[in-house]
Amino acid sequence: MLPKSVLLVVFAFLSACSTIYVAPDVPKNDEHVVVVPVSEQTISTYNRSGYTPKSLPSVFFQSAGTSGTLRGAGTLPESSLPEEQRPSTLRSNVPVEPRVGPYRIGVGDVVLLATKSSRNSVEELSGLLAAQNNRRGYTVQDDGAIAIPDVGRVRLAGLTIEEAEAELFQSLVENQIDPAFSLEIAEFNSQRVSVGGAVRQPGVSSINLTPLYLDQAIAAAGGLAVRDLDFASIRLYRDGTLYQIPLQEYLDNPDMQRIRLVASDSIYVDSEYELDKAETYFGQQIQLTTVRLAARERALEELTTEISLRRAELDEQRSNFQARIELDGVDRDYVYLAGERSQPSRYTLPFGRQTTLADALFDGNGFSSETSDPSEIYVLRAAPKKGHQERVLALHLDAEDATAFVLATKLELRPNDIVFIAEQRVTRWGRVVNQLGPGLIAAAIAAL
């Protein structure tokens, strides 16, 4: 036991000591502090308080893509075919049966996305509806893609319907949109066959999911308009090769009529024997195709340049905004973190979503599991005044039972809330001893 003189010195030291360790705490019996235990009922009550998180600027939701119609070369010139001298004989030259697979979607096709609703539209799928020419669908644009709101551009050109469904399914899942849909082609515009010459209505026929045969293409052009069968023929231009079928042989042989056509075939019903006349027609078709391709390439270059400029502008605006955030030049909402944490700090409320107590507790500077008291976790919030007196609402989470942290994932924080975690009692006494210990020892030594 210490001598009486030593004890007197110790007490004298304590009396003269100007700094005694004081631990912050939340008063339980203070009329200015309203302590409310955190429960399912209180969470439901205090989450109703109105708070709208700050939103990111609209530039973060914009896409550099652009929509538009196909750009072409304008009105095509009329065909001009001079009269030619008829040859003496005609020989049949028939193309081999082409190898064709399932239909592949191409530029200009209109695809229709439909949910299972009775409206048979994509309205419930994305909340928006893209339409062209008052049709409910999406046109495959110059770059081979369709632009779906909330999803972006999805490339479908060159895909079968089955492959396109898989591509759309993946895109919808990645954008967290219900992928329940059906896909069909509403308009077939990418694969066409031209019909000219001695027919009643020269034009083009589209190839769709079902095969297109020679007799069907001629029938779609209004049928034959030939006066003399003996001097007429059907010319078929395919992949750089010119085929011909005497018209009489075509009419007499059903197999000739059922020649299957493929995309870009050109058919010319010639009432003259001379092959040069048909070659002139096909030469014009080739030239017009070249003009269209050149115009399409120019349009794609313009589109690419435009998108690049838009993307650069969007990137610059986003970069400027992020730089303002780093320089603390953007008005933000904060929650302040105090008590037994690695270090006092403030937690920035994120853009566009609510933040819970768990978010603040488990951020990078989380609470200290060694010194903090999990039964004394508080969210301090300004409460309505009582008369002229300021009051503080203390939402108390007792997480001594670890399952109570589930409640922390539900309690929403509000700007200027203070998350306070009390220290353990043993931590408090340890700090008192650490603070006073050196002085007590020195006083005891001095008294000896």
Per-residue pLDDT tens digits for 11-68:
455 545 545 555 566 777 677 888 889 999 989 888 888 889 989 988 888 887 654 4
pLDDT at position 135 over 70: no
pLDDT band at 447 (very low <50, low <70, confident <90, very high): low
pLDDT at position 169 over 60: yes
Give the architecture (CATH level 2) of 23-54+332-430. Answer: Roll (3.10)
The better pLDDT of the pair 176, 135 is held by 176
Per-residue pLDDT tens digits for 220-243:
999 998 877 777 899 999 998 999
**pLDDT for residue 121:** 47
Q: Give percent above pLDDT 90 in the chain.
A: 33
pLDDT band at 277 (very low <50, low <70, confident <90, very high): low
User: Which CATH code for domain 104-187?
Assistant: 3.30.1950.10
Contact 127, 172 (CB under 8 A): no
Q: Directed axis angle between helix 425-447 and helix 4-16, to 10°?
A: 120
pLDDT band at 376 (very low <50, low <70, confident <90, very high): confident
Can you tell me which residue has the tokens 């229709």? 112
Contact 187, 135 (CB under 8 A): yes
Q: How many CB atoms lie within 10 A of CB 246?
A: 21
Topology of domain 192-273 in CATH is Outer membrane lipoprotein wza fold like (3.10.560)
Contact 151, 81 (CB under 8 A): no
Measured CA to CA, the distance from residue 162 to residue 436 in angstroms comes to 78
**pLDDT for residue 250:** 92
Average pLDDT, the chain: 79
Which range (137-146, 197-206, 210-219, 342-351) has the least confidence? 342-351
pLDDT band at 388 (very low <50, low <70, confident <90, very high): confident
Per-residue pLDDT tens digits for 420-438:
888 765 444 444 455 555 5
Going through 191-281 in order, the beta strands assigned E by DSSP cover 192-197, 203-206, 233-238, 241-246, 266-270
Same fold: 23-54+332-430 with 192-273? yes
pLDDT band at 178 (very low <50, low <70, confident <90, very high): confident
pTM assigned to the model: 0.44
**pLDDT for residue 438:** 57
**pLDDT for residue 262:** 94
Task: Show the tokens assigned to 291.
Answer: 């003009």
Domain residues of the chain, as ranges?
A: 23-54+332-430, 104-187, 192-273
Measured CA to CA, the distance from residue 145 to residue 107 in angstroms comes to 8
Measured CA to CA, the distance from residue 299 to residue 417 in angstroms comes to 55
**pLDDT for residue 271:** 80
Contact 113, 124 (CB under 8 A): no
